[in-house]
């Protein structure tokens, strides 16, 4: 059975049984009808996913893995901050009339810096180090740029990656300040597992472990019943996920280069309310 589902269920039980409710606090997020979007939350969650054992694609319910990977390519490969370059509408509410989300996400990864080995952006620096100095303990990115926060449509939730090569395996730590558990947990895990796979393949490495560190992991009040429904479900076997082995350049990957086989998942629970 899929281990990712067991991790998700353990996180949700911890939140629901021992979490802190914000119902008496002033919160920023609201529902579409303007009602405050309160949460039950827990602090400091650390989850580990071994990509050698399985690709962590949830089976308790469907994760739109194609849209998730399209978004990670939009951020890390296209380095875009315009929703018109994205094949979904998940960012529309954060964009201006021109489709821009400001100096956020992909914009930050496209900014060039002067490194000892040349001037390049953060993504190209990671790729350079993985090929030339894989033993380095300084292979990392950070898009939480305080100087640009006031010009961002949304401050980054998943904001930094630290990469580490151990033997022939590429591991990564994803740091996230805030996470909507129902809508974003598996979405983020799929995205950064896919990123590890891509970086590993073009660097002659094997994907290893993704460590996901979440500061504030929460379940919104209008999501509680859906989460409880998922807790009653049994995980199904993990799907098989692989990459097109012909791709050798990170910037050549497309969503179609991800091959997902035998993906079974639980019945849809209908539209999930979105807090903004």
Instruction: Tell me the mean pLDDT in the region 100-106.
Output: 98
Instruction: Tell me the mean pLDDT in the region 76-93.
Output: 95
Active site residue 157: yes
Cα distance between residue 40 and residue 222, in whole Å: 11
| Location of structure tokens 């201006």 | 96
Provide the annotated binding site for dUMP.
Answer: 137-138, 177-180, 188, 218-220
Q: Which domains does the chain have, with CATH numbers?
A: 44-216+239-261 (3.30.572.10)
Percent of the chain with pLDDT over 70: 100
Q: Can you give the pLDDT at residue 99?
A: 97
Provide the annotated binding site.
Answer: 64, 137-138, 177-180, 188, 218-220, 275
Instruction: Tell me the mean pLDDT in the region 46-73.
Output: 98
Q: What are phi and psi of 172, to 5 degrees?
A: -150, 150
Average pLDDT, the chain: 97
Instruction: Tell me the mean pLDDT in the region 131-140.
Output: 98
User: At a CB cut-off of 8 Å and minimum separation 6, what does 135 contact?
Assistant: 165
Cα distance between residue 175 and residue 182, in whole Å: 18
> Which residue of the set 90, 157, 224, 272 is catalytic?
157
Residue 171 near residue 190 (C-beta atoms within 8 A)? no
Q: Can you give the pLDDT at residue 108?
A: 98
Q: Report which secondary-structure segment, H or E, holds 18.
A: helix 3-18
Q: Can you give the pLDDT at residue 244?
A: 98
Span 171-220, pLDDT tens digits? 999 999 999 999 999 999 999 999 999 999 999 999 999 999 999 999 99
């Amino acid at each position: 059975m899929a281990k990712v589902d067991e991790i998700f269920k353990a996180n949700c039980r911890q939140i629901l049984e021992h979490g802190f409710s914000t119902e008496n606090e002033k919160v920023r997020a609201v529902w579409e009808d303007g009602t405050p979007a309160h949460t039950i939350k827990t602090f400091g969650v650390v989850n580990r996913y071994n990509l050698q054992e399985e690709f962590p694609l949830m089976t308790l319910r469907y994760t739109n893995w194609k849209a998730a990977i399209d978004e990670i390519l939009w951020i890390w490969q296209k380095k875009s901050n315009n929703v018109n370059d994205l094949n979904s509408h998940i960012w529309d509410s954060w964009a201006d009339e021109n489709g821009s989300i400001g100096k956020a996400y992909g914009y930050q990864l496209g900014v060039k810096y002067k490194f000892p080995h040349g001037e390049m952006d953060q993504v190209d620096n990671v790729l350079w180090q993985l090929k030339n100095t894989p033993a380095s303990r300084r292979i990392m990115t950070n898009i939480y740029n305080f100087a640009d926060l006031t010009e961002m449509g949304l401050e980054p939730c998943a904001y930094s990656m630290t990469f580490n090569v151990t033997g022939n395996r590429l591991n990564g730590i994803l740091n996230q300040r805030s996470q909507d558990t129902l809508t974003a947990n598996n979405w983020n895990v799929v995205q950064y597992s896919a990123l590890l796979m891509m970086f590993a393949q073009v660097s002659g490495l094997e994907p290893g472990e993704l460590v996901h560190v979440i500061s504030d992991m929460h379940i919104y009040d209008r999501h509680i019943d859906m989460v409880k429904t998922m807790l009653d479900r049994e995980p199904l076997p993990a799907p098989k996920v692989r990459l097109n082995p012909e791709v050798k350049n990170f910037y050549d990957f497309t969503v179609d280069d991800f091959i997902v086989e035998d993906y079974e998942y639980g019945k849809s629970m209908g539209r999930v309310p979105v807090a903004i």
